[in-house]
Amino acid sequence: MAFVTDGTLMKWEEIKPYIPHIKKQARRQFVHQYNKYKDPKNFPFYWGDEIEYSLIRFDHEKRVVQLLLNSMSLLESPEVKGSESSLWTPEYTEYMMEGKPRNPFGCSITDLNHTEEHFKERRKSIKQLLGPDQSLVTLTAFPRLGCPNFTFPSYEANKHVTEIHQSVFIADAALCFQHPVYRDRIKNMVYRRKERTATNVPLYKDKNTMMPYGEDLSEYGNNEEMKKSLKPGHIYMDSFTFGAGCCSLQVTFQAADIKEAAYLYDNLVPLTPIMLALTAAAPVYRGLLSDTDCRWCTISQSCDDRTRQERGLEPLTNGNILMKKSRYDTVSSYLSVSDQFYNDYDFTYDPEQYELLKAEGVDEMMSKYVAQLLVRDPIALYKEKIDQDIMKDTDHIQAVIGSNWQSLKLKLPDEKSGWKIEFRTMELQLTDFENAALVVFMVLLTRAIVTFKLNLLIPITKVDENFTSAQKRDSTNTEKFHFREVQNEFTSCEVTHEIYSLMTLNEIMNGKDDFPGLIPLIHKYLDHVDYDSSKRPKIMQYLKFLSDKAAGKIMTMAQWTRQFVRNHEDYKNDLFVSERIAYDFMMECEKIVNSEERFPQAFIRS
């Protein structure tokens, strides 16, 4: 989640005087990279995944499961450092670690068929270093994050505000202290915001839930800020960790050049909420059952460093501007000039930076995109790197890109690689089969988009509406999403309602009437490139699995989790996910992962 380098990190009050200088240098660094790599280079298509893993520890005698704060010692081990196939890096907390391929993959059928095996090897390489009661899991959200005794070793944050988080639920010891950028960035975000973050997620209304539900937080002291932030009928969380401590599956694609990168970026934008809904995996927060299925609203709120004025809660003063979205939020614009007619969202950007970017040769839409990134203040700055060589260094612009956590990310090229797009919305699945199916699907879909010159664009405001729908409980079965029916190139400057309509997830993935569906388009692509049919069975299994999941034949992780909790003998129909429920849930997850099943049979609807 962070652009990590070496140096002395500065505090927020130390950063503030340098903000105009840093933004200027970041803009100039982008312009230099843009001009250097704007001409066609014909880079080959490559892709790579990023999986955020969690470490857990079981106490079988007490029937308790906890997050294990041990990632840094594992990352320092010779076996992990010396891995030839995987690259392991720290993440935001001491219980997380990120794994990705040491070298990117291509689109050959051999590479695609090896994806699941690579995931299995990666998981095995860490698990063999763990103790008998410890495990490495691919879980989007640990159900009792922020509850008493949720980590091992256990640290008490309750009844006082921690120094860095300023949280009453999560001790600072959970943070990754080996890389202070994670620690200091959070501290700077709190100081910039001028109050701790406040996340409110709707509660699930079960039979024994007293509504309007309101927590009694008096045991944490007479904290007026907390009382103001708590919404009745919601789960209240007060730390960046409640969002950044969730895990996800991300895939990055390398484009041939900047034109293809912008085209692919734009066509992936409408898919971001669709894949969020399909992968929904996070219905429990702080030991309480929520009325949402995804992490997105949680992480967007928890990573919001806007002040009250910037959020529109107080009148603007001293040149402050209204920012409509959090630092972690949905994409606000398309990149290609030809697609500007779909940009119907009036997003916030820095007008001065925009004009300067255009004057320096950057096209109009890319200038607005970068000016939108530059409207955010830098939240991590190294004393040794305030002044940089524009012709050689890219630290400032990389830090800007790296701290704008949108649903898609455009990554800069360098001497060895081209323009890249990172797809960021997918929730992490329980098994390697499921995660491999999603990655292979996304890789093949990008190839189909480029090969068939598809146009999936809809107005940006409709994409945002889809995000709201995607996060609702049981959205795969109950919600409809705006999606484009006409896939041919759209050249008219008028965007009409005839080109898109409301569809179910099943219709989007599997087709309806004259709309082919995304999975049939992939089948068409596989026939078009004449992939060896004898080597397709694994890919066919992935596509069949996702087709059935979209059709509602297979539960999402969120649906299965909710079902498990509500059917547990210890559940009182009152929202509370006890230590016993969490223990049994994680034991069942371990049983599924360690079984011989290709994918969780327990998820199949009877």
Taking the CB of residue 310, how many other CB atoms lie within 10 A of it?
Answer: 20
How does pLDDT run across 215-264, given as a tens digit for each residue?
Answer: 777 777 767 778 888 899 999 999 999 999 999 999 999 999 999 999 99
- Residue 490 has a pLDDT of 43
Residue 234 near residue 430 (C-beta atoms within 8 A): no
- Residue 227 has a pLDDT of 81
- Residue 491 has a pLDDT of 42
- Residue 223 has a pLDDT of 73
Preceding amide of 212 cis, omega within 30: yes
d(CA 544, CA 549): 8
d(CA 249, CA 294): 13
What's the rounded mean pLDDT across residues 495-512?
Answer: 89
Q: Strand pairing partners for 81?
A: none
Give 440's pLDDT tier (boundaries 50, 70, 90): very high
- Residue 492 has a pLDDT of 43
What's the rounded mean pLDDT across residues 418-439?
Answer: 98
DSSP, collapsed to helix, strand or coil, labels residue 57 as: strand
What share of the chain in percent tops pLDDT 90?
83
DSSP, collapsed to helix, strand or coil, labels residue 86 as: strand
d(CA 455, CA 477): 26
Four-way CATH pick for 33-345+412-605: 3.40.50.300, 3.30.70.260, 3.30.590.50, 2.60.120.380 = 3.30.590.50
- Residue 156 has a pLDDT of 80
Give 2's pLDDT tier (boundaries 50, 70, 90): very low
How does pLDDT run across 150-193, given as a tens digit for each residue?
Answer: 999 998 875 556 677 788 899 888 887 667 778 888 899 999 99
Residue 565 predicted with pLDDT over 60: yes
How does pLDDT run across 366-411, given as a tens digit for each residue?
Answer: 999 999 999 999 999 999 999 999 999 999 999 999 999 999 999 9
- Residue 432 has a pLDDT of 98
Mean model confidence pLDDT for the chain: 93
What's the rounded mean pLDDT across residues 471-488?
Answer: 92
Structure-model confidence comparison of residues 179 and 47, the more confident one = 47
Q: Which of 175, 330, 331, 140 is nearest to 248 (CA)?
A: 140
Give 4's pLDDT tier (boundaries 50, 70, 90): low
- Residue 158 has a pLDDT of 58
DSSP, collapsed to helix, strand or coil, labels residue 535 as: helix
- Residue 208 has a pLDDT of 92
How does pLDDT run across 199-211, given as a tens digit for each residue?
Answer: 999 999 999 987 6
Token pair listed for 185: 């960035």
Residue 289 predicted with pLDDT over 80: yes
* 64-68/151-152 β-pairing: parallel
- Residue 161 has a pLDDT of 62
What's the rounded mean pLDDT across residues 304-320?
Answer: 95
- Residue 212 has a pLDDT of 66
Q: Which of 61, 459, 425 is nearest to 273 (CA)?
A: 425
